[in-house]
Structure 1
Amino acid sequence: MSQTSFDDDDLFGEAAEEMSADVEEHLAAARTELPTADSIWETEADNVLGVLNGLKSALDVGEAADHLRQAKKWFTLGSRAEAFENPEELQEEIETVEQLLETVDEASDEVSGLTATIPALRGDLQEAHEAADAASAESGGAAEAEEAE
Structure 2
Amino acid sequence: MSQSTLDDDELFGEAASEMREDVEESLDAARESLPSADDIWDVDADNTLGALNTLSSALDIGDAEEHLRDAKKWYTMGERADAFEDADDLAEAIEDVEALVEDIEAAGEQVSDLTSTIPQLRGALEDAAADDADPEADADGSTEAEA
Tell me how far apart the structure 1 counterparts of residues 121 and 10 of structure 2 sit (CA, whole Å). 66
Q: TM-score under structure 2 normalisation?
A: 0.87
Q: Which residue in the other structure is 1:67 paired with? A: 67
Q: Percent identity?
A: 56
Matches within 5 A, 1:1-149: 7-135=7-135
Aligned residues: 135
Post-superposition Cα deviations, 1:64-100, rounded to whole Å, max 9, x if no partner, equal 0000000000000001111112211100000000001
Tell me how far apart the structure 2 counterparts of residues 36 and 73 of structure 1 sit (CA, whole Å). 25
> Which has the larger share of helix?
1
Q: TM-score under structure 1 normalisation?
A: 0.86
Post-superposition Cα deviations, 1:12-68, rounded to whole Å, max 9, x if no partner, equal 111111100000000000000001000100111000000000000000000000000
Larger mean Cα displacement after TM superposition, 24-33 or 124-133: 124-133
Unaligned runs of 5+ in 2: 139-143
The CA RMSD over aligned residues, in Å, is: 1.8
Q: Segments of 4+ in structure 1 off by > 3 A?
A: none
Tell me how far apart the structure 1 counterparts of residues 59 and 6 of structure 2 sit (CA, whole Å). 48
Give yes or no for contact 2:23–2:71 (8 Å, CA) kept in 1: yes
Post-superposition Cα deviations, 1:93-138, rounded to whole Å, max 9, x if no partner, equal 0000000110000000000000011011111110111011111689
Question: One-letter code of the match for 2:103?
Answer: T
